[in-house]
Every structure is written in structure tokens, then in C-alpha cells.
Amino acid sequence: MTQDSANKKIVIMLSVILGLIFFIAGVAKIFSYTAFSHTISEVTNFSQTFTSVLAWTVIIVEIIGGIALIFRFNIIKVSLIFVVLISIFLWVLSTAIFKGTEINCSCFGILNIGLSNKEEATLDIALLNLFVLLIFLSSKKTAENSLKQKLLTGIILVIIFYLQYSVFSPLYNVEKDGIKESDVGYILLFLNNNENAFYNYRYGNRLLFLLYFPDFNCPPCFDDFIYLSDFLRVQSPNKKIEKAIAIFKSDAVVNKNDTTRLQRWVKANEIGFPVLIGEDSLFQRINFVKSCVLVIDPLGRVLLSEKLPLGNSKVKKITELLEQ
């Protein structure tokens, strides 16, 4: 097998695989468009009209670009478009990781594969490197002169190395997620100020959801919460697990003078365990204004704090703690 023949086979394989990934991701976003649009709105603070245009632009680029790669049409140009798109994704994710926040990306739409932001960033880095390889191998075959080829490859490599440095630095240097001692004390104060049976439960570990209402304003965003509840019900059908929800005091669903909307929200989502109103500072101290799950032991100590989305491994970890 000659070098050119080997390169051609690699180009075909990479273009088909990458094309399928982005075609599927684009189609999946259509079925969970509300969640994807909501994520863009949270990240950018753009107007609803511009957010919709941006969301549909990404979806169309992924679908058409994916098809183009599958049929190997203008591989270099299409790959460069995806390099720009992934670079934007990485910038958003690295900013979130550096700040300690978690973005519910909805990058794979209705498929909801449940990756954390760090895992999504790692996946994007891998995809970016594959596109660089695809561009390099394709340009090696089609470039008219070596100078043009080297210049293009050099520019792309500089961009890639910079992005890898900017993304992986915060991944390994950012403080590990979790509850600090001062935060534990703050949660205990919150627990003690509530006279609900949930907080007097002394027969096992308990589960407390800190829900930021905008995260659950559309069905796809609510999936993680529902999945965890269903998983616990299936895994431990005979074990009573005490669960409660705390909602932002300033959330749109909460109204001191009229609780009708909150009651309607609880009923619509079939929430059968206590719903409490938490001070805004509780959320800001623990999770930088993002929904999360706490596991609390019989003495009121916080055993675990995980931001949503959780993913299968974290769900199993929570389940193990609750079964102790």
C-alpha cells in the first residue's frame, strides 16, 4: 500500500466519522431545540430573536456540513468551518470551567449523553485534533505548492495548540468541585431553619435538590432530575429514601403573595416530596447559581455535592451513598 493510498483511506474514514457525528448532533438538536436555544440564551444574553437565529444557524451548519463531509465535498473548507465552530464551543466551555460553573450544553440534543463540561471539552479537543489531521492529509494531496500547504498547516497548528493550552490549563488547575467547610455550615443553618420531617429524618442519608428554575423551564432540561428519581425508585424499591427540593427565593416560579404558580409547577412535574424556598445566597455559595444535588447524612453533614448534568457515573455514586 502506497503512502497516498493510505492517506486517502484515512481521509475517507475521518470525513465519514466526523460527518456522521455532526449530522447526528445537528438532527438531535432539532428535537430538543428549546433546551439548546435556552443554553445559548444563558451563555450569551442575546435577544430571543437573535438567539433563535444563532441556534438554527448552528443546527443547519452541523447538518449540511456533516452531509458534505460524509460525501467528501470541499473537505478542507467544511473542516475549517467546523474548526471555528468547535473553537467557539471550547471557549465557552473553558470559561465556564474556569469560573466553576456548569453549562447544560445540550450539544447532542435529545440524545442527552450526560457529559460534564470537562468531558465535553475533552471531546471537543479530540474532534478538533481529528479535523486538523483531516485538513492536513487533504491539503497534502490537493495543495498546489508546498509553501501554501505549510502555511495553512502552521496557522491551524498554532490555533490548536493555543486552544489546547487555554482549555486544559483550567481543567487541571481549577479548584475541585465540592462543598467547603464554610458552605457545610451554611447548609446546616438552612436545614435547621426548616421544620420539615425531611430534616428530622435520622434513619439514613437524604437527598436534597437545589433547583435553579430556569434550568427546568423546558422538558429536556428536566431530564437529569427525573432520571435520578426514576433510577432510585427502580434500584431501591423497598428502601425509603427521603428527598426534598429547595428552589431559589427569587426564581420566577416563586411568589410570596401567591403560591399558585409554584403549586402548579409541583403538580405538573409530579413532585411528591417537600418543596422548600432556599435563600439565593445558598445557591450562590454552593454552585454558582446552577442546579445541583446534595447527599446529606443523618447528622446533617454534606457527603456529596454534584452539579447538573450528572451523567451515569455520578448517578450511581449518589445511589451508593443513599443505600448506605
DSSP 249-312: TTSTT--SS--HHHHHHHHHTT--S-EEEEPHHHHHHHHSS--EEEEE-TTS-EEEEEESP--H
CB atoms within 10 A of CB 92: 20
Given 146, 173, 200, the domain boundary residue is 173
**What is the number of alpha carbons within 13 Å of residue 251 lying toward its C-beta?**
28
Same domain for 73 and 195, yes or no, is: no
Q: Give every CB contact of residue 122 below 8 A, 6+ residues apart in sequence.
A: 171
Same domain for 155 and 218, yes or no, is: no
Same domain for 156 and 195, yes or no, is: no
Alpha-carbon distance of 114 to 200, in angstroms, equals 33
Same domain for 152 and 230, yes or no, is: no
Cβ–Cβ under 8 Å, residues 83 and 91? no
Longest dimension (CA), the chain: 77
**CA 252 to mean position of chain CA atoms:** 23
Burial profile 155-188: b = 16 or more Cβ within 10 angstroms, e = fewer: ebeeebeebeeebbebbeeeeeeebeeebbebbb
Same domain for 186 and 310, yes or no, is: yes
Same domain for 159 and 21, yes or no, is: yes
pLDDT of residue 65: 92
Catalogue the long-range contacts made by 1-9 (C-beta closer than 8 Å, 24 or more residues apart).
Answer: 4/141, 7/137, 7/140, 7/141, 8/141
- State which residues form the domain around 210: 181-322
C-alpha cell at 165: 493550552
pLDDT of residue 31: 80
Same domain for 153 and 48, yes or no, is: yes
Same domain for 223 and 273, yes or no, is: yes
pLDDT of residue 64: 93
Same domain for 163 and 277, yes or no, is: no
Q: Write out the chain's pLDDT in tens, 324 residues.
A: 565 677 788 888 989 999 999 998 888 888 877 777 777 776 776 777 888 888 899 899 999 999 999 998 888 889 999 988 888 888 777 776 665 556 666 666 545 555 667 778 788 888 888 888 888 788 755 444 566 666 766 676 677 667 666 656 655 454 444 455 555 656 666 666 665 666 666 667 777 877 777 666 555 556 777 777 777 777 666 666 777 777 777 777 777 667 777 787 777 766 777 777 777 766 666 655 567 788 887 777 777 877 776 767 777 788 888 777
Q: Give every CB contact of residue 274 below 8 A, 6+ residues apart in sequence.
A: 196, 197, 198, 244, 245
Task: Report the predicted TM-score, pTM, of the whole model to 2 decimal places.
Answer: 0.52
pLDDT of residue 286: 64
| DSSP reduced 3-state for 175 | coil
Tell me how many degrees the CA angle 102-108-114 measures, rounded to the nearest 5.
50
Same domain for 88 and 26, yes or no, is: yes
Task: Name the domain count of the chain.
Answer: 2
pLDDT of residue 314: 77
pLDDT of residue 62: 92
DSSP β-bridge partners for residue 307: 292
